[in-house]
Amino acid sequence: MKEQDAYIKLIEKGVHPSAQRLAIMQYLMSHFTHPTVDEVFQDLTKKIPTLSRTTVYNTLRLFSEHNAAQMITIDDHHVCYDGNTNPHAHFYCKSCGKVVDMHEEEVPYLSKPKMMNGKIVDEIQVYYKGICNDCMSREKNK
């Protein structure tokens, strides 16, 4: 049950579960496309016509502050979100702009904050960048 999962996640992360927040969390938990703020807004506004972009911005920020979602900043023009907060690497295609998971590649696991060289590390992000399968075949067919 996606609805319950979203509810549980918000509670676990200490985020008060309003209707909008539940909808946004549900969206993140059922779309693994790493949506941008605007994609979330465009899709959800169909179901919740009163939803505002501001709320989506505020909510996603709130989620990432509470570690209920991950903000992914590939570069200054491509910010998106991932509802999966388990550590995993991301791949960014420089040609089509898609962001996909790279579960195959290892990311050091942090179940809790860890001391590293005198610093407390509580988050690790790994980005691979290049050209994806699809763009490569498209390239060849030219």
Partner DNA sequence: ATGGGTGCAAAGGATTTGCAACATT
Partner DNA sequence: AATGTTGCAAATCCTTTGCACCCAT
- Is 26 a binder of DNA (CB under 7 A)? no
Angle CA 135–86–129, to nearest 5: 25
CB of 4 to DNA, least distance (A): 16
- Is 71 a binder of a copy of itself (CB under 8 A)? yes
Contact 24, 56 (CB under 8 A): yes
Question: Pick from 18, 33, 53, 79: which binds a copy of itself (CB under 8 A)?
Answer: 79
- Is 59 a binder of DNA (CB under 7 A)? yes
Task: Tell me the number of residues near a copy of itself by CB under 8 A.
Answer: 31
Judged by beta carbon distances under 5 to 8 A according to partner kind, the member of DNA, a copy of itself, none in contact with residue 54 is DNA
- Is 131 a binder of a copy of itself (CB under 8 A)? yes
What are the CA-CA distances from residue 12 to residues 22, 33, 128 (Å)?
13, 24, 30
Task: Tell me the number of residues near DNA by CB under 7 A.
Answer: 22
State the residue for tokens 């179940």: 111
- Is 46 a binder of DNA (CB under 7 A)? no
Q: What is the CA radius of gyration of the chain?
A: 17
Closest CA to 67 of 5, 12, 26: 12
